[in-house]
């Protein structure tokens, strides 16, 4: 499931328009080292987006890498439980 799909679902569930700053963010791009090209945030699958975010967050001396990975996996599982397995 992509960020575009998630935001559209949120708009339907909330019965509200999607905020303009959210749409602007979804249209921003980042360079993907693995694909060797620019990728729109809105086209990213949620698990890839969360992985990118987890790599951006600076290492905190209070949270080790294993804890960070566990937090990421916990968030990912909650999202998958709430929205399905991403094959929608």
Considering the domain boundaries, does residue 27 fall inside one? yes
Q: Which domain holds residue 39?
A: 3-83
CB atoms within 10 A of CB 57: 11
pLDDT at res. 15: 92
Q: Quickly state the pLDDT bin for 88 (edges 50, 70, 90).
A: very low
Q: Which residues contact 71 (CB under 8 A, 6 or more apart)?
A: 54, 63
Q: Render pLDDT for 6-55 as a digit per residue (tens, 0 to 9).
A: 999 999 999 999 989 999 999 999 888 888 999 999 999 998 888 887 77
Q: Are 83 and 9 in contact (CB under 8 A)?
A: yes
Q: Which residues contact 7 (CB under 8 A, 6 or more apart)?
A: 18, 22, 23, 26, 42
Q: Are 5 and 41 in contact (CB under 8 A)?
A: no
Considering the domain boundaries, does residue 88 fall inside one? no
Domain count, the chain: 1
pLDDT at res. 71: 77
């Amino acid at each position: 499931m992509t960020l575009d799909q998630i935001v559209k679902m949120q708009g339907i569930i909330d019965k509200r328009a999607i905020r303009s700053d959210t749409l602007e963010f979804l249209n921003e791009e980042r360079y993907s080292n693995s694909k060797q090209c620019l990728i729109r945030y809105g086209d990213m699958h949620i698990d890839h987006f969360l992985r990118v975010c987890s790599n951006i967050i600076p290492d905190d001396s209070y949270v080790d890498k294993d804890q960070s990975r566990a937090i990421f996996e916990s968030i990912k599982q909650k999202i998958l439980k709430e929205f399905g397995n991403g094959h929608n």
